[in-house]
Structure 1
Amino acid sequence: MKPIFFTIANNFHLMAIPDTEAHFNGHPVISYTYSLFVDEAKSNPSQALAKESTLHLEKINDPNYLGFIAFETPANVFSYTSGQQALTPEQIDEIIEHLTLIRDNPALWKLMDNL
């Protein structure tokens, strides 16, 4: 999936790589995960290519890996699992707010596709 580039407080540049997984063990639950990395290449999508193929399949040793945030529906529950670096609770909240804004506003998807 196409990476999402954004900046949070203190000019902290991030790249989020979305992934979706469905679980049907008696009831449907869809997990939307976003693997988070420090965006050192300043919104260059090619940096995501090497990272996409290993998401959550094995331990990620990339020093820019910040972990992942999982959103589960229909319960609207989220969780954060840290990576090589850990985010602060404030950073996690800001990232969740940003990703929720994007998820809830499909018009923003078109804007991001045109970047």
Structure 2
Amino acid sequence: MVPLFFSLGNLLQLMVIRDSEAHLDGQSILTKTFSIFGDMALRDPRQSKSKEGTLHLERINDPEYYGFLTFQEPGKGFTYTDD
């Protein structure tokens, strides 16, 4: 996945990676999740390659991992889950 980069003020740089989707039974997916990491490589997209392998582990031990966002059906809201 292509990472998205955000700046919150001048101090916090974030990299957001969309988690992969699985269409197991042909139903459309109504929930999308995005993992959030600190952007330590200053917008270098190559840093996401090492992060993508850990996205679905039960416990992520990466010190740059901040949690994930879950978006429900379009327009229905979202939640943030910290690690």
TM-score of Structure 1 vs Structure 2, range by shorter chain: 0.7 to 0.9
Structure 1 ranges of 4+ moved more than 4 A: none
Q: Between the two proteins, what is the percent identity of the paired residues?
A: 47
- Whose helix proportion is higher, 1 or 2? 1
**How far does residue 63 in structure 1 lie from its aligned partner after superposition?**
0.4
Q: How many residues align?
A: 81
Q: Which whole-Å CA distance do the structure 1 matches of 2:12 and 2:59 have between them?
A: 24
TM-score (norm 2): 0.80
Residues 42-61 of structure 1: per-residue CA shift (max 9 Å, x gap): 00111110111221233110
Supply the AA of the counterpart residue of 1:44: D
Q: Which whole-Å CA distance do the structure 2 matches of 1:30 and 1:56 have between them?
A: 18
- 1:48 and 2:48 aligned: yes
Supply the AA of the counterpart residue of 1:33: T
**How far does residue 28 in structure 1 lie from its aligned partner after superposition?**
5.3
- Structure 1 residue runs without a partner (length 5+): 84-115
Q: Which whole-Å CA distance do the structure 2 matches of 1:46 and 1:58 have between them?
A: 24
Q: Which whole-Å CA distance do the structure 1 matches of 2:57 and 2:30 have between them?
A: 18
Identify the residue that residue 76 of structure 1 maps to in structure 2. Answer: 76
CA RMSD of aligned residues (A): 2.2
